[in-house]
A and B are shown apart, each in its own frame.
Chain A
Amino acid sequence: MPVDTDPRVADEALLTLFANGDARAARTLTTRLAPMVLRVAQRMLGDAAEAEDVTQEAMLRLWRQAVDWRHGEAKVSTWLYRVTANLCTDRLRKRHGQALNDDVQPASEATAPTALADLQQKERLFALDAALQDLPDRQRCAVVLRHIEGLDNAEISKVLGVGVRAVESLIARGKRALKAALDGRRDELGYQDD
């Protein structure tokens, strides 16, 4: 079994290897963790180039944290989700000059996967992305972590630094807003056939 898919090898152990100078640990951690950072950043920012920059910055912070990592206190993935969420929030604030929880503008048409726009599934995904971009930052982050990344509410509460009940509320409000945004497009997106 490849190292990066071997569940017996904990991220923390790899981080310790990295802190002791093993370059192979960096590659394995990158393979394992960077894609999830990129996914969240893309959903949060709606911009591929910015998402890549955030991914590089989040991983850089992980490398810097390796020597001082406090084993057993937090999962590496949770720590990285938190860093990613904060980096994205900072960028959104700068982009729109709005306070946390303010609505952000929808993703521009320029970010649409135009080459695949004829495919219904891609259209659905794009519609979902666009609707996600309309959510307030923290609602969007909570929805992405819960329903796209598959984190449980307890872990999301650690990422966002809020209580579990607040997470439940963020997700519930986010899902209601998504439903409201997408309900009017059911026919357009072909959901009448499902």
Chain B
Amino acid sequence: MLSASLTARILADAKAIQETEIRSTEARKTPKHRSFRQQMIAVLWGWPGVTGLASAAAAGLWIGVSQPAAIEAFADVYFYGVEGEGGLEMGLAFEILFAEETS
């Protein structure tokens, strides 16, 4: 069983990494443009171990490099089971993302 203090230390490290190393890494990255369909294929077929809800979350996250709003909505539904202001529902999330490709 993790103590509260150890959990706090671990999460403090995580926050520090997210605020420093990950942020700076993302700032340096200039991801080459891929179409939404290419990204979906790479995620869904290039990552067979992830299924179901995890695929949705991971795919959203992956895509979230260029579409942060979409992944934030995904994450809210994923973690809290709640809809965002836009009324996003988990079952419709992919349809909405696919729709963005053609809009």
Contact = CB atoms under 8 A, between A and B. Distances in A.
Nearest to B75: A22
Interface in A22-66: 22-28, 30-31, 34-35, 38, 52, 55-56, 59-60, 63-64, 66
B54 A63 contact: no
24 contacts: A10-B49, A12-B50, A12-B54, A13-B54, A13-B55, A13-B58, A17-B57, A17-B61, A17-B78, A20-B64, A22-B75, A23-B15, A26-B10, A26-B14, A27-B11, A30-B14, A52-B6, A55-B2, A56-B9, A56-B10, A64-B21, A66-B17, A67-B26, A71-B50
- The size bracket of the interface on A is 35 or more
B74 to A, nearest CB: 9
B96 to A, nearest CB: 18
A19 B6 contact: no
The B interface, classified by DSSP as helix, strand, loop or mixed, is: helix
A52 B1 CA distance: 11
B58 A16 contact: yes
Interface stretch (A1-9, A93-101, A106-114, A142-150): A1-9
Contacts of A17: 57-58, 61, 75, 78
Contact of A56 (B6, B18, B22, B46): B6
Contacts of A18: 14, 18
